[in-house]
Structure 1
Amino acid sequence: MRISLELVPRDSEGLKAELQLIKTEFPAINTINIPDLTRFDLRSWEASRLSKSYYRDCIPHIRAMDFDAGRPFDLIEYLDKHHISEVLIVTGDEPQNSTKQVYPTTCIDMVTKLKREHPHLKIYSAIDPYRTSIRKEYEYVQQKLDAGVDGFFSQPFFDLRLMELYADILEGTDIFWGVSPVVSETSKRYWEKRNHVVFPKNFEPTLDWNIAFSKEALAYTQETNSSLYFMPIKVDLQDYFNGIFGEVLVKNA
């Protein structure tokens, strides 16, 4: 079983401090995935290189719109040199810096290109259960699989019933289920407005509720032989992970 933590690479020293803490305190976590946020100088593949000193498995997010699908993928030498063999391809959001060059390259364009030109890469893509209807998301998943995607990272779930529904749809695929604690009313409204999340009726924006749900999600991934990733935002990592791993036996950690 793989358990990943998503870390935001604000700067190299802060990233290394977080990696050391997680490595020391929470050995159940065995994979790191890193988003590529253009407002920070440290890019995801650079952060993954740093993470390699702590974890064997590091998965950078790659923004398709930053690359011209008609030109060679100039990151491949860097990835190969640092033994980064897994990537998560996302289309990406328009950068805040309007002078940064972007291209009309979609996620599917990028996946198709990389699987054709660099088939040794294991490529993940994203699933978002809230962005549209289940049918349309399923059709998008099929397009990504046809392009050569090897597996998926989901947007965070807050309802185990919805996870189970998507597990039926995605049966046979390699998936990391996402979990992210939401511990304030302000954060809850953000997720509802920005990500169109529909929280279950029993949801409470408290650390206790989120720990309980995370433990349920962890147990479910163990039962279904899938994987899980945590995206903790504005929460104390010690309190959060102690609550999850303190009482749950993680197999194959």
Structure 2
Amino acid sequence: MTRVSVELVPRDKASIKEELELLKENFSGIDVINIPELLRYDIRSWEGAKIAQNYYENTMPHIRAIDIDLDKPLPMTEFLLENKINEVLVITGDPPQDMSRKIYPTVSTDVIRKFRDELPHIKVYAGIDQYRSSMRQEEYNIRRKIQAGAAGFFTQPFFDLRYMEMYAEMLDGREVYWGVSPVMSERSVNYWETKNNVIFPKNFVPTLEWNIDFAQKTFDFVRKNNTNIYFMPIKTNLLPYLTGAFSK
């Protein structure tokens, strides 16, 4: 059965509660709330996941590998156990702009394995970045993450169903949440193209209508293939976008 995940940014307690209430009041088909770890905000991802538990049973904090010292126990262990948070998404993480913050040369496979060894009951998902390198290299990265203990995957946002279908063949039989993120300004287009190496399809236009139509087509794709969908409505008004996405 298709599961739906929505990512909410933990800017502060008031704003995340407001967004959670909006989702709960308007959409019945959401299964998982994902909380990213963003250094510019004070709320840690697992703290945001605890807040989300008041609204949804399943919440998933993101864990940045470069924040983890492999010579020490996982720093969020006690919090995850106390609050019965049983799923996490491990990503590599971007270096902070303020390099006074301590980071480590830790990669995601190290942290996936560390969770497997220290918190084996927690289900660990890994990221897929289909834009960072060749498809062959990403396939190798996926196999390494599976060997380390990853139980499933969350992709970067797709904007082209043809590209998604190619990855679906590679990931056949795996638990996958296919990423969708609305891009609705030329500035956002430039960000995705220059920072994340995205190539948008020829018919792409940064409008609400195009993004809703693509979200609906992705919904059809995941239902047909019995996989999952992952909404990342970054800097987007949640209500009109998700209303359109869920309407089909």
Alignment match, 2:185: 184
Deviations 1:134-183 (A, max 9, x none): 01111111111111110100000000111111011011111100000111
Is structure 2 residue 141 aligned with structure 1 residue 165?
Answer: no
Is structure 2 residue 23 aligned with structure 1 residue 33?
Answer: no
Alignment match, 2:43: 42
Deviations 1:65-110 (A, max 9, x none): 1111121113111101111000001111112332222112111111
Amino acid at match of 2:207: T
Alignment match, 1:251: none
Alignment match, 1:134: 135
Worse-matched range after superposition: 23-32 or 153-162: 23-32
> By how many angstroms is 1:207 displaced?
0.7
Is structure 2 residue 115 aligned with structure 1 residue 114?
Answer: yes
> By how many angstroms is 1:35 displaced?
0.6
Q: Counterparts of 2:129 and 2:219 in 1: how far apart (Å)?
A: 19
Q: Would the aligned equivalents of 1:7 and 1:32 in 2 still touch at CA under 8 Å? A: yes
* 3-state SS, counterpart of residue 42 of structure 2: coil
* Structure 1 unaligned residues grouped into runs of 5+: 249-253
The CA RMSD measured in Å over matched residues stands at 1.0
> By how many angstroms is 1:9 displaced?
0.4
The list of structure 1 runs, each at least 4 consecutive aligned residues, that deviate by more than 6 angstroms after superposition, is none
Alignment match, 2:126: 125
Is structure 2 residue 201 aligned with structure 1 residue 205?
Answer: no
Alignment match, 2:100: 99
Worse-matched range after superposition: 152-161 or 72-81: 72-81
Q: Counterparts of 1:115 and 1:236 in 2: how far apart (Å)?
A: 37
Q: Tell me the TM-score normalized by structure 1.
A: 0.95
Is structure 2 residue 246 aligned with structure 1 residue 245?
Answer: yes
Q: Counterparts of 2:36 and 2:166 in 1: how far apart (Å)?
A: 26
Amino acid at match of 1:183: M
* Structure 2 unaligned residues grouped into runs of 5+: none
Amino acid at match of 1:147: A
Alignment match, 1:85: 86
Q: Counterparts of 1:154 and 1:32 in 2: how far apart (Å)?
A: 15
Identity %: 49
Q: Counterparts of 1:191 and 1:97 in 2: how far apart (Å)?
A: 22
* 3-state SS, counterpart of residue 166 of structure 1: helix
Q: Counterparts of 1:64 and 1:22 in 2: how far apart (Å)?
A: 29
Q: Would the aligned equivalents of 1:61 and 1:89 in 2 still touch at CA under 8 Å? A: yes
Q: Counterparts of 2:12 and 2:94 in 1: how far apart (Å)?
A: 21
> What does residue range 16-31 of structure 1 map to in structure 2 within 5 Å?
16-31=17-32
Q: Would the aligned equivalents of 1:130 and 1:196 in 2 still touch at CA under 8 Å? A: yes
Amino acid at match of 1:96: Q
* 3-state SS, counterpart of residue 70 of structure 2: coil
